[in-house]
Amino acid sequence: MNFIKKIALFVLTTFLIFSCKKDKLNNDSNARVYFSQDSVLFDTVFTTIGSSTQNIRVRNTSNQRIKISSIYLQGGESSPFILNVDGASGKSFTDVEIAANDSIYIFIQVYINPTNANSPLIISDAIHFVVNGNQQNIPLEAWGQDAYYHRPTDAITFSDGSYLPYSLCDYVTNAYTMNGSEIVWKNDKPHVIYGYCVVDSLQKLKIQAGTRIYLNSKASIWVYKYGQLQVLGQKGNEVVFQGARREQDYADKPGQWDRIWINEGSIDNKIDYAIIKNGYIGVQAELFGNSGSVQHHLDITNTKIQNMSMWGFYGLAFSVTGGNNVFSNCLEHSVNLTLGGYYSFVHCTFSNFWGTSNNTNGKIREKPTVNINNYNDLQEIPLYAYFGNCIVDGKLTNEIILDLKTSLTPTVVFSNCWIKTTADVTDANRFVNVRKEGTSLTYKDLSKYDFEPDGDTRVKGFVHPKALADAALFPVDIKNTARNTASVSAGAYEIP
């Protein structure tokens, strides 16, 4: 056999061997398919039409053909999604083959009536794949209601390469009206926030009663320096801030979004009758940079902050007045006041029973309900912190920590408060007519974040003149029940 024939025979033999190998079915128990994306999101269509189609590419990266024994929607026949695989439409498919080093496309369609206000805000399902016994999933997510979508239009890039995506609060032009210089968000549809929604310098954002705000992972409302926020809820028509995931598994899951972040520059920030839940930090009010001489103030009243994966309220060298609030169940502090500032809380309930009703993934709270500090490694800042007719309670034996340097003579006063603590409360300048106890109060329903004392009379009967004066500042409680201003109940609720 001459040389040319040998080469030809070798090439033919190699081709036949390779072809046979490619045609062989891959039965490896570790075989997998690979996807062009790890999830499919339908997030752009439901304000005008009720259906949309997306696709994913399913790749076989092996040198042998592969058989997907089953492809199906986990929601079954009731799923609002429908699949198209190799030209066939349906909810499930069997024995779908992909040639070696080849791929197929799966088209996914969803139909939802966007005008149906009773639809869940998010419709979720997943495509399930089985390859040689291996299970793989692609999550599907579609918005099921018409909503105002605040999506990032820009990003702040940091020196380490990370970035913060954001949009301005007036970017979605059909989501608000103007009232003079105020941007007034409409309350006829939910507001869904991706990234940081920024109230820029000199902007004023007013959020009306009944507005529902859903924030995605790491999303936030950021009131930048000299911006202003007014959350104007009403009893029974509160403004609600919560995570965007509406499945039952997320109803009580903390850490789903970031925070409401308020910087200095405005003295007219206001939050009234709000419910703020299931985030990382509920409200963060702080100086942003070295601007301690700039005016800044927040009034927060009749508001519940609950189930935060870090802190409920975080103040850093800020000025805050609060009344009739319930800050509860956070992984660390319900209230964390650091680096000085001016704070006055009257008729507030700070009760932290983290783990009683939360999806906490086994995380145990080790830090007290209330933490107060007036310094860092670089400086000490003047501090005034007043708690009048308040409840401080929780699972720990001591629910107050005062971490103070005294060179600037900080003022911290607990007046006519019910406190669960092991601390010494004999300093009459700091603890005025307080009731110190070691056993927690009895509440109506911790599992539902109902921190109204249930017949527990230990918080009743404060008649000290300062208790009466503080009660007059808030003559009705968080439920709009008239207070007994002659014999005062501590906390946000009037006790009959």
Task: Please check whether residues 361 and 418 belong to one and the same domain.
Answer: yes
Query: How confident is the model over 412-440, as a mean pLDDT?
Result: 97
User: Degrees (nearest 5) of the Cα angle 23, 28, 32?
Assistant: 90
pLDDT band at residue 46 using 50, 70 and 90 as cut-offs: very low
pLDDT band at residue 309 using 50, 70 and 90 as cut-offs: very high
In a domain, 327, yes or no: yes
Q: Which of 143, 159, 188 is the last residue of a domain?
A: 143
Task: Please check whether residues 136 and 152 belong to one and the same domain.
Answer: no
Query: How confident is the model over 347-355, as a mean pLDDT?
Result: 96
Beta bridge partners of 67: 97
In a domain, 214, yes or no: yes
Give me the pLDDT at residue 49, please.
46
pLDDT for residue 16 is more than 50: no
Task: Please check whether residues 418 and 276 belong to one and the same domain.
Answer: yes
9: buried, middle or exposed (CB in 10 Å: 19+, 13-18, 0-12)?
Answer: exposed
pLDDT for residue 6 is more than 60: no
Mean pLDDT of the chain: 90
Tokens of residue 60, six digits: 């076989």
Task: Please check whether residues 162 and 306 belong to one and the same domain.
Answer: yes
CA 84 vs CA 32, 37, 55: distances in Å: 21, 17, 9
- Check residues 17 and 400 and name the one with the higher pLDDT: 400
Give me the pLDDT at residue 456, please.
94
In a domain, 352, yes or no: yes
Q: What is the dihedral of CA 4, 7, 13, 16, to 10 degrees?
A: -90
Q: Which of 114, 143, 172 is the last residue of a domain?
A: 143
In a domain, 198, yes or no: yes
pLDDT single digits (tens) 104-147 = 999 999 877 665 655 566 788 999 999 999 999 999 988 767 78
Task: Please check whether residues 188 and 102 belong to one and the same domain.
Answer: no
In a domain, 125, yes or no: yes
Query: How confident is the model over 18-28, as a mean pLDDT?
Result: 71
pLDDT single digits (tens) 211-225 = 999 999 999 999 999
Task: Please check whether residues 168 and 303 belong to one and the same domain.
Answer: yes
Task: Please check whether residues 240 and 118 belong to one and the same domain.
Answer: no
In a domain, 24, yes or no: no
Domain CATH for 127: 2.60.40.10
Q: Which residues span the domain enclosing 95?
A: 34-143
User: Degrees (nearest 5) of the Cα angle 483, 484, 489?
Assistant: 80
Tokens of residue 209, six digits: 């009663």
Task: Please check whether residues 244 and 194 belong to one and the same domain.
Answer: yes
Q: Cα–Cα distance between 125 and 47 in angstroms, integer?
A: 21
In a domain, 45, yes or no: yes
Task: Please check whether residues 138 and 270 belong to one and the same domain.
Answer: no
Query: How many independent structural domains does the chain possess?
Result: 2
In a domain, 496, yes or no: no
Task: Please check whether residues 138 and 155 belong to one and the same domain.
Answer: no
Task: Please check whether residues 107 and 202 belong to one and the same domain.
Answer: no
Give me the pLDDT at residue 17, please.
46
Q: Which of 143, 166, 195 is the last residue of a domain?
A: 143
pLDDT for residue 358 is more than 80: no
Task: Please check whether residues 135 and 197 belong to one and the same domain.
Answer: no
